[in-house]
Structure 1
Amino acid sequence: MNEAKQWTVTVDIDEHDGRTRATARLHTRDARPLTAVGTARLNPADRDVPEIGDELATARALSRLAHTLLDVAADDIEGLTATPPTRLHL
């Protein structure tokens, strides 16, 4: 039986001057995690609801992280086959 693998994602969120920044890190067995950043800013005409900024910035960071992981997989495929993959989709 194969050993189960576990990857974890951590998201750190901070706010400064109406801007929210989320940093998502994917931790695998590799030495260095993949990292992506997402941001959101408060429209001055909108009511300040910090949770919404957190959600938007985190969603953007996770989306970028997913695309980064897809790029890594494409590079790995190309490294093994010496040809770029035709198409990889999320």
Structure 2
Amino acid sequence: MATLAGWHVELEFSEEGHRTSAAALLRLQDGNELKARGYAMRHPSDLGQLRVGEEIAGARALMDLASQLLDKAHGEIDEASGRQSRPLTH
């Protein structure tokens, strides 16, 4: 099977105190870029596990990115078809 497209998602993480932040970037072949952020907060009594904070913050950023991508796709369907392709609420 031939590959039709390839996407690369960039994720960058930063930690400040008990808060881990993730920034996600997806560059699409149509020239659009989608950007998203995700956060995780560590309770002061929790062990300092940076990887876990990255996983949670990264997952939240990717969920935001997925939602934006669905909205973009449905907008394109709506524009091409002249009708609403999805309910207004997610």
**Which TM class, normalised by the smaller chain length?**
0.7 to 0.9
Poorly superposed stretches of 4+, deviation over 3 Å: none
For residues 63-84 of structure 1, give each alpha carbon's deviation from its aligned partner in whole angstroms, at most 9, with x where no partner exists: 1111110010111111101111
* Structure 2 runs not aligned, ≥5 long: none
1:18-44, Cα deviation, whole Å (9 max, x unpaired): 111101111111323111110001111
* TM-score (structure 1 length as normaliser): 0.86
Aligned residues: 86
RMSD: 1.6
Q: Aligned residues: percent identity?
A: 34
Query: Which residue in the other structure is 1:81 paired with?
Result: 81
| TM-score (normalizing by structure 2) | 0.86
SS in 2 for 1:30: coil
What residue number does 1:60 align with? Answer: 60
Amino acid of the structure 1 residue aligned with 2:55: E
Instruction: Tell me which amino acid in the other structure corresponds to 2:34.
Output: L
How big is each residue's C-alpha offset from its partner over 1:39-73, in whole Å with a ceiling of 9 and x where there is no partner?
Answer: 00111121111110000000110111111100101
